[in-house]
Structure 1
């Protein structure tokens, strides 16, 4: 029994042969088509650019002055809220002096209530003046006679100095720079409320 075999041969054509010859123009055309295909794929996969972020700008609700107090021996933050239309009229306004009136204290929400009252007509337009306190136990209390309280709060009892600061320094500052009507009110909560009550009892003109 014989087995026949076939030999397969592979012929390699030289580059110079007519079958392998590619013109320079055709080569450039093919390369350009390949580049265009790659660019199209890249553009198709690139996400849409994010919309520009709107520029931020501050919301202004009032003015701030830093008052160097001779009475207290340091600087205090004084924040002022003016009613709507203040800049468009010559009207004079009553003033609400707010104890604990720093930005980190009660100024924002009391100014907000005043704005609500002005816009809704719930109460008369007024100027809100927030006065910063620092050592509340000292500035808002009268001198205690309780030995335990004196021991725990040795700085207590300086309300008279803080009241002098309000009358002699804060009030003149406001009256010199804003259109005030001469009608004043004093407002505070917690220890500041006690300060308001004491001020009314000791000198109604300051409360």
Structure 2
């Protein structure tokens, strides 16, 4: 009787599903519909005494979920927002980094905001007039005020209005890279990870490089991450960053993980895209390693990897649904059905509102010969698909296949 009721319920569900599935995806999107990249907002800064705009990118699915996300603060947002959000979405979609919110910070007075106070007789690279920085760039020197704006006004505004994790990434190029190093050396608690692209470390005769070891003694208990890059940009740009890399290699500051990449095929304007991609991958390297383990190992290895990363980042990060699904199917293909069931069941525990996880568990149960349990999982996938108005054809096919198997079994059980 239990089996008969189960089959009858599946038949009724299939009937409703077939009516719905004929409509799902049948309406093409309107011609000329815009592709959404982000939003523009602004807030009044009391520190800078001006209105400051910012650009906002939210990860796919933000509106439908309750998840919280790390935040990437992107200097020169007006120049880099488009390609940077593409990199973030691509890497997150492939589980190389967690999904992130991106806040682009356009400039009002770039030189003022991104440079430390000038002093001494430092001259601009290539300037043959012998004028000092202070003479060449009279508005320079407002980096500390701008850092206060980011730390005390913009970041709290984002964290009050959006679902964020306690993890901030700062990305800057050229003077923005100089600013990122300046922030790390002077207020390392402001951000958790710093990506300094072609930083202008010649500023003030390399003062930040000379004082690096002493500055980094102030690092907070939670680990900080630094990724630096430089293209083929001439000795005045290259030598300071090489000295900084050599200093860090020798000093090995506690609680700082750092990388330096020389990009011989890039020039000053082309380094940002490649560096952002590589820098974010390096900051979350454990996620990429977990992907390999998901294809070759078992659930415990991946969960251990995520636990280690969570401890390092300072917030809990769970293996995503897609990664555990990949692992489950890899285990199935290798004949490890029980291990696959464990992985798929963990996915159901964590992502029970996803039709896909129930469908995948159904496949493992079917492979294990547990047909009634498989049918129940497939029916749940189908019901969730109907509820979300997203019925994958496979959901129906799987229900029909298992119903057929159970029908054959029932006929056999009743034979004389």
Deviation at 1:132, TM superposition (A): 1.5
Partner SS state of residue 84, structure 2: helix
1:66 aligns with 2:42: yes
Pick the aligned partner of 1:90 from 51, 58, 66.
66
Give the whole-Å Cα distance in 2 for the aligned partners of 1:183 and 1:140.
22
Question: Can you list the C-alpha shifts for 1:61-107, whole angstroms capped at 9, x where unaligned?
Answer: 112211221111222221111111211211111111111113xx211
1:197 Cα deviation after fit: 0.5
Of the three residues 165, 168, 180, the one matched with 1:181 is 165
Q: Distance in 1 between matches of 2:163 and 2:80?
A: 23
> Aligned runs of 1:6-155 on 2, under 5 Å?
56-102=32-78, 105-147=79-121, 148-155=132-139
**Number of residue pairs aligned between Structure 1 and Structure 2:** 152
Which stretches in structure 2 are left out of the alignment for 5+ residues?
1-29, 122-131, 192-416
Q: Please give the TM-score of this superposition, normalised by the length of structure 1.
A: 0.69
In 1, the alpha carbon distance for the partners of 2:37 and 2:169 equals 21
Q: 1 CA distance for matches of 2:48 and 2:35?
A: 32
Rounded Cα–Cα distance in structure 2 between residues aligned with 1:75 and 1:109: 25
User: For residue 11 of structure 1, what is the aligned residue in structure 2?
Assistant: none
How far apart, in 1, do the equivalents of 2:166 and 2:113 lie? 25
Q: After the TM superposition, which parts of structure 1 deviate over 4 Å for at least 4 consecutive aligned residues?
A: none
The alpha-carbon deviation at position 181 of structure 1 amounts to: 1.0
TM-score after normalising by structure 2? 0.35
Q: CA deviation at 1:179?
A: 0.3
Matches within 5 A, 1:163-202: 163-202=147-186
Aligned residue for 2:93, secondary structure, equals: helix
RMSD across aligned positions (CA): 1.5
Say which SS state the counterpart of residue 180 (structure 2) adopts: helix
